[in-house]
Structure 1
Amino acid sequence: MNTRQIKKVIIPITAIVILLAMVAWLAGSFNDKIAPILQANNHLKSSVPRAEQFIVSYSEQLSYEPVAAGIEAKQATIISSRLLARIEQIKVRAGDNVKQGDVLIELEKSDLTALVSQAQERINGISARYQEAEKSLARANKLYSDQLISAADLDSQKASFQSIEAELTAAKQARQQAQSTLAYATITAAIDGKVVNRFAEPGDTAQLGKKLLAIYNPLTLRVEANVREQLAITLQQGQTLQVQVPSINQTLSAKIEEIVPAANTGSRSFLIKASISYNQKLLPGMYARMLLPAKPQQVLQVPSNKIASMGQLNFVWIEENDELQRRFVRLGKKSSENMTIVVSGLNAGDSVINPPTTQD
């Protein structure tokens, strides 16, 4: 083997040896090894008096099931016309407050006024004939008593008088009907309330039954919810519930005033209606949550002042085997002003203490 061939063999072998040596050095093969041991935790030894420790235990917590609900008005009305007529004037707009009997809409009434006048003139004409017939009947009665006319003549006068009397009665009824129809041309508020919406403008033609205005009474707002039958059958009329209204960030008290005694066959739920006190921030159609009492739950809870935070993480300090340990926990909602529910991270019997002043 010549020198050139020897170099071809030695160079790769040397490179491999150097590479292996570098890997061994990076792995710490040439350093002194120290066996792993547990470091003493003497600086976290607990010296907290027993009286300052809180022993975690299960407690019964009332639970509530939120049910989607809505704010509705008990008193609400749709204003429409009983006539086919042109709208001359609408005196209110959405948001206006109205009183019962206030004039809301004026319809064209010239034709209707003419009908009332015609009915009155007809009454005037018939009244004149009625008075003449009444006098004729009185004379006929006197002549009959004096035996100057026959009974047939008297009966003829009576029939004539009764016919005119019937005509006068019919004319008065026709006038009353014309006056009632004329009254329909002036549309008034049926309730005290607030105008929700306006569906027409002056110049439009009001048609029979076509809605023109919507009004509701803000003093009669209530909460309505479809509640599944398992919960609905536990509720009673007059029972007080809590209602959350997220849009105004308020929780209101509501009293059940009606439980519709028939379930919706599709959703197997009952319609629950609960009255609430007047709140000027509430409007019909708002979303709400009705909190219904459900089965009590066993929960773990700790004093809120014993919970510490680090960023978005929450933890507590517990004492175990005479040593302090930091235990990360997942929190629920506050069960009271000073207590917070712990969803996970603690067990019954754990001893929770106040966070130490130093955590070195």
Structure 2
Amino acid sequence: MRVPLTMLVLGVSATLAGCQAQPQEAAKPGRPVLVQSVAFEPRTPERTFVATIRPRIESDLGFRVAGKVAKRLVNVGDMVKVDQALAALDATDLRLQREQAEAEVKAATAALQQAEAELRRIYTLRRQGWSTTAALDRQQAVAEEARGRTARAERALMLAGNALSYATLTADIDGVITATQIEPGQVVDTDKVAIRIARLSEKEAVIAVPEAQIETVRTGVASLSLWSNPDKRYEATLRELSPSADLVTRTYLARFSIPAADEPVQFGMTATLTIDEAAAAEVARLPLSSLHNQGDGPAVWVISADSRPVLRPVTVAAYQSRDVLITQGVNDGERVVIVGAQKLDPGQRVRIVEALQF
């Protein structure tokens, strides 16, 4: 049966109308990428060491004469002033020696007076012709010997007086007692350390430095914070670095001066010494997965202001086990693709996922 032309046209129109009524396919979403913000930081992080507060000058004091300790006048931790008595020996024998020296001086002085009087008498007789030249020469020799004996006796008296004064051990600086190694009744010799005293005016921090950190310690900028007050920092300056390593620990002893040390900085306290590398180069640390190389050198995908990836060449300072250190090519705050970089094209639509940074 033949279909009329009018009905055929109406059927085609209805079919086309039905097709137009169907919804259009939704636009494809952008490729998801994980990004990380660029943050430049010193290439070498700060180093920290455990330090102990010590006095710069610590003197071992001892008696200059041997004897038996009669009394000790100070204890560990006592504050002392210059010329303050610290300990004393039994001075009985030393007083007897001084008295003996005084007696020798008196005897020598009397002999000198007699010899000089006899010399004056012989001079007078010699001028009158009643004495010989030989007698005059003999008396001059006797007088000279008497003068020498008197001088020796006076020096012996001075030495005996000094020895008696040495029986009392006194402080030679203002400081604090850090050790006592004598007790009353103990017999000590001149080479025995009796009391150790530390100068209060100069304090320093002492650390043990591994061999690999010697250059950092020598050239870095140091600061100090006490464990008892970590919020306050003190400037520290390297004063001395040991030229040889400790035989047991294989570390080098370093001493740092603390010019602004105040009352809270006490001897024996524990502190943290922080050393920042001087003029350290700054680098951006990114994962190795962020690098993309098409044969023209290393590059990274940077997300532009319109959220499109842009391939940008970078300068790599070093490759590490998981990260790459970049010195040029990116700026602080820019977002770099760290996952999915190998499957991107310039200007491609992407969906950004921020990486968590700890």
Same fold (TM over 0.5): yes
Match of 1:84 in 2: 66
Match of 1:284 in 2: 267
Match of 2:104 in 1: 122
Instruction: Specify which of 269, 273, 276 is matched with residue 293 of structure 1.
Output: 276
2:148 is matched by which residue type in structure 1? Answer: A
Higher mean C-alpha displacement, 288-297 vs 75-84:
288-297
Match of 1:256 in 2: 238
Give the conservation status (yes or no) of the 8 Å contact 2:52–2:269. Answer: yes
1:56 equivalenced with 2:56 (yes/no): no
Unmatched runs of 5 consecutive residues or more in structure 2: 1-34, 287-305, 308-336, 342-351
Q: Distance in 2 between matches of 1:170 and 1:139?
A: 26
Give the conservation status (yes or no) of the 8 Å contact 2:49–2:272. Answer: yes
Instruction: Specify which of 153, 158, 163 is matched with residue 181 of structure 1.
Output: 163
Give the conservation status (yes or no) of the 8 Å contact 1:87–1:107. Answer: yes
Deviation at 1:187, TM superposition (A): 0.7
1:203 is matched by which residue type in structure 2? Answer: G
1:152 equivalenced with 2:161 (yes/no): no
Identical aligned residues as a percent: 22
Q: How does 1:105-254 map to 2 (within 5 A)?
A: 105-228=87-210, 231-233=213-215, 240-249=221-230, 250-254=232-236
Higher mean C-alpha displacement, 153-162 vs 132-141:
132-141
RMSD: 3.9
2:245 is matched by which residue type in structure 1? Answer: N
Encode CA deviations 1:188-244: one digit per residue, 9 max, x unaligned.
00211011233333333334333332211222111223434554346669x751123
Q: 1:131 to 1:181 in 2, by over 3 A?
A: same
Deviation at 1:75, TM superposition (A): 1.6
Q: 1:289 to 1:96 in 2, by over 3 A?
A: same
Give the conservation status (yes or no) of the 8 Å contact 1:232–1:269. Answer: no
- Name the SS for the 2:263 alignment partner: coil
Q: Distance in 1 between matches of 2:353 and 2:223?
A: 35
Match of 2:349 in 1: none
- Name the SS for the 2:87 alignment partner: strand
Deviation at 1:175, TM superposition (A): 1.1
Higher mean C-alpha displacement, 272-281 vs 284-293:
284-293
Give the conservation status (yes or no) of the 8 Å contact 1:56–1:347. Answer: no
Give the conservation status (yes or no) of the 8 Å contact 1:56–1:300. Answer: no
Encode CA deviations 1:291-335: one digit per residue, 9 max, x unaligned.
22345564579xxxxxxxxxxxxxxxxxxx99xxxxxxxxxxxxx
Q: Distance in 1 between matches of 2:353 and 2:120?
A: 113
Q: Distance in 2 between matches of 1:56 and 1:222?
A: 42
1:213 is matched by which residue type in structure 2? Answer: I
Give the conservation status (yes or no) of the 8 Å contact 2:94–2:163. Answer: yes
TM-score by length of 1: 0.62
Deviation at 1:64, TM superposition (A): 1.1
Encode CA deviations 1:103-122: one digit per residue, 9 max, x unaligned.
11121111111110111011
Deviation at 1:265, TM superposition (A): 7.8
Q: Distance in 2 between matches of 1:347 and 1:132?
A: 111
1:274 is matched by which residue type in structure 2? Answer: F
Q: 1:351 to 1:254 in 2, by over 3 A?
A: farther
1:197 is matched by which residue type in structure 2? Answer: A
Match of 1:325 in 2: none
Unmatched runs of 5 consecutive residues or more in structure 1: 1-53, 302-320, 323-345, 354-360
- Name the SS for the 1:216 alignment partner: strand
Match of 2:327 in 1: none
Encode CA deviations 1:27-85: one digit per residue, 9 max, x unaligned.
xxxxxxxxxxxxxxxxxxxxxxxxxxx97113123621123433221121223223332
Q: Distance in 2 between matches of 1:187 and 1:77?
A: 13
Give the conservation status (yes or no) of the 8 Å contact 2:246–2:252. Answer: no
Q: 1:285 to 1:297 in 2, by over 3 A?
A: farther
Deviation at 1:185, TM superposition (A): 0.7
Deviation at 1:254, TM superposition (A): 0.8
Encode CA deviations 1:246-301: one digit per residue, 9 max, x unaligned.
244343211223345x3438577654322112232333343333322345564579
TM-score by length of 2: 0.62
Q: Distance in 1 between matches of 2:179 and 2:45?
A: 40
Q: Distance in 1 between matches of 2:211 and 2:126?
A: 84
2:172 is matched by which residue type in structure 1? Answer: A
